[in-house]
Amino acid sequence: MRPHPLVAACVAALMCAALTSCSREDDGRNAEPTAGAAVDPEPEETEETGTPSEESEEEPPFGTPVGWAGHPGQVEETEEPDEDEDDGEEVDDPEEHTAVTGGAGGETVTAKDADELAEHLRTDEPLTVEIEGDIDLDGRIRVGSDKTLLGVGEGAELTGGALVVEEAANVIIANVTMTVDETAVSIGEGAHHVWVDGSTFSGGDGDPLVSVTDDADHVTVSWNRFTDAEAAILIDGGDDEERERAPRVTVHHNFFDGTTARHPRALNAEHVHVFNNYFRDNPEYGVSSADGANVLVEGNYFERTPLSVATEKDDEPGNVATRDNLLVDSDQPELRGEVPDPPYAYELDDTVTIPDLVGSRAGAY
């Protein structure tokens, strides 16, 4: 089994990485590697809190995620070409993007309040931004490209606002707790290669806690806990005629603990892969596919979720394929259409183990 991907790699100020590694072994997270996380490399020493550490040529400690965010691929530009350009010129192929690495290769800084956080996240260079304790966001904070936002310790909590990833690429958000009155993490407007991992989300006031909309692409949402909310995750590619591309998203090893619906709800999505999640006491439904979305649901554990998967017959339906799910007091879905396998490598945990595995380890540390 694999450990929690990012949490096991982070160190607090003035603490060496070896101590952090030992503390994680105590709770079993550093047992055997499991699906959806990377194995920790050798720890690196860091400088004092608030002082940027020296750049390192070594791989980042959180490795590469499983799923669409960890899958290199071409992403079309969202802007239309200039019609006045010379028709004889060659048109560049879509840019090839590597798997998400966040702020790897850049400095590590600490944010103590919303102003410092916003300033660090909007810079142009790669950065790992660590937060510890409570921060009132006081509104929506934009996250720029090549950033890792990482909660340090057990008390990293963001309230009073949202994180917005738009027109940005290569972003990691991990080990934070967000209690909000709106969408906590909004990914859209051409954002791609974004990884939301190991965090706890609640609230939302009816809005989805995580949204992937418009032209967003190559997104992974993993090892998070969603609770006390009406809606967990929305994936919506928008109008067929207006969008440049449809979202491709992986949702794995999340704990949907009593949340009402949208785990996720997918509309106009090219490919959504939902695997090894734990659904418990979800009163409306687990997963939904609509408006021609393609959703593969496998290896999930549904417990007292009346409808495990819905294709929304009354609306424009979506396509759904299921396999190896375990349903406890949950109805078997009616399947529709065909959904291809994803192009990336992944390993399924045994569905029977999901309540213990995900129930105990998903969410902020």
Catalytic residue among 262, 265, 280, 361: 262
Residue that has been written with the tokens 């609770």 in this structure: 227
What is the DSSP annotation of 6-57? TGGG---TT--HHHHHHHHHHTTTTSS--TT-----------STTSPPPP-S
Q: What does DSSP assign to residue 115?
A: H
Report the helix count and the strand count for the chain, using DSSP H and E.
3, 27
Q: 53: phi > 0 → left, psi -120 to 50 → alpha, else beta; which?
A: beta
DSSP for 257-288, please give it: ES--B-SSEEES-SEEEEES-EEES-SS-SEE
Interatomic CA distance for residues 67 and 222, integer angstroms: 9
Longest dimension (CA), the chain: 64
Neighbour-count burial of 244, counting CB atoms closer than 10 A to its CB (0-12 exposed, 13-18 middle, 19+ buried): middle
Is 262 part of the annotated catalytic residue set? yes
When computed from its CA atoms, the radius of gyration of the chain, rounded to whole angstroms, is: 20
DSSP state string for 280-310: ES-SS-SEEEETT-EEEEES-EEES-SBSEE
Cβ-based neighbours of 114, under 8 Å, separated by 6 or more: 135, 136, 137, 138, 139, 141, 161
Contact, 226 vs 256, CB < 8 A? yes
Secondary-structure percent of the chain, ordered helix, strand, coil, rounded to 5: 10, 35, 55
**Direct distance between the N- and C-terminal alpha carbons of the chain, in angstroms, rounded to an integer:** 17
| Whole-Å CA distances, 301 to 197, 304, 326 | 20, 10, 5
Which of the residues are catalytic? 262
